[in-house]
Amino acid sequence: MELIFVILMGGLWGSFANVCIHRLPKKQDVVSGRSHCPKCKKKILWYDNIPLFSYFLLNGKCRKCKKKISIQYSLVEFISIFLFVNIYYLYGISLTSILLMILGLSFIIVFFIDLKHFIIPNSITFPMMALGFIKSFDPNLNSMFPNYVLSLLGGLFGYGIIWSIIFFYKQIKKKEGMGLGDAKLLGVIGFWFGLKSIPFIIFLSSTIALISVIPDLLKKSKRMSSKIPFGPYIIVGTLVYLIFEKEIDSLFYL
C-alpha cells in the first residue's frame, strides 16, 4: 500500500510540475486556475488529466481540438514517479525521503524550464535555498546532509564561485557569460549537500556539458560562445555526484 501511495503521489506531483513548467516562465499563478489545452485553450476535464493514463487513452491528442499533446507532459510525470519510487526504495517513508522528493521535484521543474527558456525561476531557487539551510539544523537526518555550518559555507561557495565566473568573464569579454540563475541553483546544491559537493558537481556538470556539445562543435552548428542552458547539466552532475558520493568520499577524503 505504501508503494502504491508513493506512485500516486509521484504522478500527482509530476502533474503539478507540468503546471509549473508551463506557467512559471509566463509569470502565471501555479495554484489557481484550471489546466487547459495550449492549442485550443479549452479547459481539460479531470478525467483527461490523470497522470500518464490520460495521455495514452487520448492517444496523445486533445479531446476537443485533436491537436497533439507534447510527450513532455507524460515524460515529466514518469520521471517524477520514477524519482519518488527510488527515493522510497532507498529511504522508506521518512523525513529524508520527503525532503529529497521536494528537491527532486524542484530539479525537474528547473531542468525543463531552463532547457526551453534559458531561465531558472527565483520562485524555485530561493525557497530551496532556505529549506536546504533550515533542514541542516536537524542532526537526525541522513548523513548525506551537512550540518548548518557546512550547509551555509556550501551555499555561499556555490553561489559565489559562479558569480565570480560571471563577473570576471564580463570584465574580460565585455558581455554576459552565464546567468545568475546558475549561481542560485549551485547555491541551492551547496545549502543541501554542503561545501565538499561543489567542486565535484562543477567538474561533473562542466564535463557532461562539454561532452554533449562536442558533436555540435564538430558539425559547426554551435560555437564555443553559443548559449546553452547550464542548469540541466548542473542537475545531472548533482545526480551523478549523489549516486557515487561514497566512492568519491573514499577516494578524496581518506
Q: What is the pLDDT of residues 129-177, one digit of tens each?
A: 999 999 999 988 888 899 999 999 999 999 999 999 888 878 887 777 6
Residues 74 and 127 in one domain: no
| Long-range contacts (CB closer than 8 Å, 24 or more residues apart) made by 36-39 | 37/62, 37/64, 37/65, 37/67, 37/69, 39/65, 39/67
Domain boundary pick from 53, 76, 93: 93
Q: What is the pLDDT of residues 49-104, one digit of tens each?
A: 888 888 888 888 888 888 888 899 999 999 999 999 999 999 999 999 999 999 99
pLDDT level of residue 224 (50, 70, 90 thresholds) = low
Residues 243 and 139 in one domain: yes
Which of 246 and 220 is assigned the larger pLDDT? Answer: 246
Residues 156 and 78 in one domain: no
Residue 251, number of CB atoms within 10 A of its CB? 9
Residues 59 and 147 in one domain: no
Which of 4 and 38 is assigned the larger pLDDT? Answer: 4
Within 93-244, where are the H helices? 95-117, 122-134, 148-173, 180-193, 197-218, 231-243
Grid cell, residue 4, equals 502504491
Residues 6 or more apart in contact with residue 4 via CB below 8 angstroms? none
Amino acid at 86: N
Averaged pLDDT score across all residues of the chain: 89
Residues 89 and 137 in one domain: no
Domain assignment present for 208: yes
Residue 76, number of CB atoms within 10 A of its CB? 24
Residues 157 and 71 in one domain: no
Domain assignment present for 114: no
Q: Give the range of the structural domain holding residue 46, as residue numbers without chain letter.
A: 1-93
Residue written as cell 557532461?
208
Residues 156 and 237 in one domain: yes
Domain boundary pick from 42, 74, 93: 93
Residues 199 and 234 in one domain: yes
pLDDT computed for residue 97 by the predictor: 96
Domain assignment present for 113: no
Calculate mean pLDDT across residues 112-127: 95
Residues 208 and 127 in one domain: yes
**Torsion, CA 97, CA 10, CA 70, CA 28, rounded to 10:** -70
Q: Give the residue among 136, 139, 152 at the shortest CA–CA distance from 198.
A: 152
Q: What share of the chain is helix, strand, coil (3-state, %, to 5)?
A: 70, 0, 30
Task: Give the predicted TM-score (pTM) of the model.
Answer: 0.91
Domain assignment present for 215: yes
Number of domains present in the structure of the chain: 2
Residues 128 and 241 in one domain: yes
Residues 133 and 27 in one domain: no
